[in-house]
Chain A
Amino acid sequence: DAGVTQTPRHEVAEKGQTIILKCEPVSGHNDLFWYRQTKIQGLELLSYFRSKSLMEDGGAFKDRFKAEMLNSSFSTLKIQPTEPKDSAVYLCASSPQGGAETLYFGSGTRLTVL
């Protein structure tokens, strides 16, 4: 049973670059979440999709962060342009249909912006 798959595991970018992170949710799951994790801020919600529709766009992250879900089995998170403060681990999670008890996380992408 495949879990949530995130690629790449690590990404290094120069300031100002555009990077795209990828996520494949658990097959059949309707909800998909993008979180950012840092030591200082902890986990912050970036985006939330239900059945491919954007439900939550993360407020403060709107201007340079854009998540898309082109089909039910694939999502991307684009950061454009990147800044050093974007260095963090980006986590993707999926759930069959909401409900905290059924949230499955990927291993994350560690982004370093120089």
Chain B
Amino acid sequence: EQQVQQSPASLVLQEGENAELQCSFSIFTNQVQWFYQRPGGRLVSLLYNPSGTKQSGRLTSTTVIKERRSSLHISSSQITDSGTYLCAMEPSSGSWQLIFGSGTQLTVMP
């Protein structure tokens, strides 16, 4: 069973539109983080959000720990936002490791 589920698997937008990416967990978590990866590129941390709402530029993440879910909102998308967005969580069980979702592939068209 996938412990971290992401949706949608892929998303195509026109430049300027907003994107809403979802992440849900089958187990309880201490913390959630969102990463970004360009094709062939390295994973880069975007937002660390253990709970509540965090914002960084055009990115806003909302995590509701009790409901085991997190979302990433990208406002006014740009072509350079294209790539894969991965959600990762640390289980509450105590063993420090990040468990990743399969990602949402975002394509922003001109």
Contacts and interface: CB of A to CB of B under 8 A. Distances in A.
- Count class of interface residues, chain B: 20 to 34
B103 interface: yes
B97 A48 contact: yes
A106 B42 contact: yes
B49 to A, nearest CB: 9
Contact of A105 (B43, B95, B99): B43
Interface residues of A, number: 21
Given A42-B102, A42-B103, A45-B97, A100 B90 contact: yes
B101 A42 contact: yes
B76 to A, nearest CB: 25
B86 A56 contact: no
Contacts of A3: 42
- Most A Cβ at <10 Å: residue of B32, B98, B102, B103: B98
Interface string A1-44: 00110000000000000000000000000000101000000110
B65 to A, nearest CB: 14
B42 A105 contact: yes
B48 interface: yes
A100 B33 contact: yes
Interface of A: 3-4, 33, 35, 42-43, 45, 48, 55-56, 91, 93, 98, 100-101, 103-108
30 contacts: A3-B42, A4-B42, A33-B97, A35-B100, A42-B86, A42-B100, A42-B103, A43-B86, A45-B97, A45-B99, A48-B97, A55-B96, A56-B97, A91-B43, A100-B31, A100-B32, A100-B33, A100-B45, A100-B90, A100-B98, A101-B33, A101-B45, A101-B48, A103-B33, A103-B45, A105-B42, A105-B43, A106-B42, A107-B42, A108-B42
